Amino acid sequence: MKILKEFFAHSLRILLGALFIFSGYIKLYPIEPFELNFIDLGVANWWTAPVIARAIIGFEMFLGVMLIFDLKTKRFTIPATFGVLIFFTLYLVYQIITTGNQGNCGCFGTYLEMTPLESIFKNIGLLSILIVIQFIPATYDYDFLKKKILSIESDQAFITTDSKWNFLRKKLASLILVLSIIGGISVPYILNPPDALFYNHRAGAVNFPLRINDIFKDTSVTKPPVDLEKGRHIVAFMSLSCFHCQMTALKIHTIQKRNPDFPFFLILNGDTARYKKKFFEFSKAQNIPHLYYNSGDFFSYVGGSVPKVYWLQNDTVKYHSLYSDLNENEIRLWLEKGIVPSQGDTLMVGNDSN
């Protein structure tokens, strides 16, 4: 019975550790929704969000390794894991209270979508597993491994006493601990470096008439109250089924929330019955003025690829943004002073510090 209990506890601990590593890894691809969530909640800015996101992912993967190798389990790993799960459970409760039980909580990135309430139940289950691991004593059968090593080097001085064996065990555990700490800090940056490391990755300046009012020759399209041919506007052409469009719309939502005066407008293409709900659940961009344009002429505006984010001045495209260089400070500078970023400029990735 004791052996079965120990096997059960070991299995739970290793599976939980693997789950933490998996959860951290899949948050990296893509990491942008995870980053934007902190900005959207007001707990981070454009500089700190990438750092906070990678720190959380790194710590999650670090705890996973610690659980798998049974390192400092009772003194540190289990209490730390408890703390992380309770913290995120409280955060999910706050999210439900403030925004409702809507959208993807992001606990498993975009690959396995869960509502905040579903994630709370998942966390309760993981906390229950931790309690089982905490109260069922389980230790590795190191004597079995020691005998194997001694049988290989029986006539050598490799390991001759229990004290040397224990010394080797401690050194090995210390090595794994150090590598886990280094890996937890560095792996998220190695696997998915922040956009700030690619300052000059821009779509580039352009200067051509968009003729946006031609869209409204289609009688199925409702003309918006705002005249997009006059003044300065940022108009994004997107497909409802395009994931990169969803991410860009999420970033636009985040910027708009911080700057309600920014004149964003979305022109959306696609099967609304099939994709509309998922697009807005992910992007939270319902508050951005938008229209649906399903004519074949849509693709003449985007050159065959989406998303396209155009900075319009009196119907002339003055700039074309990518997701990575859709920048809060530069948008404000253009709206207030008409200064358009040039391709050779250094990208002001930090936006502002608020």
Pairing of strands 232-239, 264-269: parallel
Predicted TM-score (pTM) of this structure: 0.81
Model confidence at 198, pLDDT cuts 50, 70, 90, reads low
Which residue, chain included where needed, has tokens 């906070």?
52
Give me the mean pLDDT over the 255-260 stretch: 96
Task: Name the burial class of residue 50, with classes exposed (0-12), middle (13-18) and buried (19+) by CB atoms within 10 angstroms of its CB.
Answer: buried
Nearest to 288 by CA among 322, 308, 264: 264
The yes-or-no verdict on residue 167 having pLDDT over 90 is no
Model confidence at 301, pLDDT cuts 50, 70, 90, reads very high
Q: Are 312 and 232 in contact (CB under 8 A)?
A: yes
Asked, as a colleague might, if the bond just before 33 is cis with ω within 30 of 0, I would say no
Model confidence at 81, pLDDT cuts 50, 70, 90, reads very high
Question: With pLDDT > 70 as the criterion, what percentage of the chain qualifies?
Answer: 84
The yes-or-no verdict on residue 105 having pLDDT over 90 is no
Q: What is the pLDDT of residue 42?
A: 83
Model confidence at 347, pLDDT cuts 50, 70, 90, reads very low
Please give the C-alpha separations between residue 298 and each of 212, 219, 278, in angstroms, as whole numbers.
11, 14, 21
Is pLDDT larger for residue 4 or for residue 335? Answer: 335
Which residue, chain included where needed, has tokens 């009196």?
314
Nearest to 126 by CA among 97, 179, 155, 86: 86
Q: Quote the mean pLDDT of the chain.
A: 86
269: β partners? 239
Is pLDDT larger for residue 343 or for residue 47? Answer: 47
Tens of pLDDT, residues 32-60: 999 998 898 788 898 899 999 999 999 99
The yes-or-no verdict on residue 126 having pLDDT over 80 is yes
Q: What is the pLDDT of residue 12?
A: 92
Tens of pLDDT, residues 127-156: 999 998 888 765 555 454 455 555 544 444
- Domains for the chain: give ranges and CATH numbers: 2-195 (no CATH), 205-337 (3.40.30.10)
Tens of pLDDT, residues 207-251: 899 999 999 999 889 899 999 999 999 999 999 999 999 999 999
The yes-or-no verdict on residue 169 having pLDDT over 80 is no
Q: Enter the tokens of residue 263.
A: 């004149």
Nearest to 100 by CA among 284, 242, 315: 284
Q: CA-CA distance, 282 to 103, in Å (whole number)? A: 6
290: β partners? 266
Across the chain, the runs of DSSP E, i.e. the strands, are 205-209, 232-239, 264-269, 290-292, 308-313, 316-321
The yes-or-no verdict on residue 161 having pLDDT over 80 is no
Long-range contacts from 227-232, C-beta under 8 angstroms, 24+ separation? 228/265, 228/312, 228/315, 229/314, 229/315, 230/314, 230/315, 231/263, 231/313, 231/314, 232/263, 232/311, 232/312, 232/313, 232/334, 232/335, 232/338
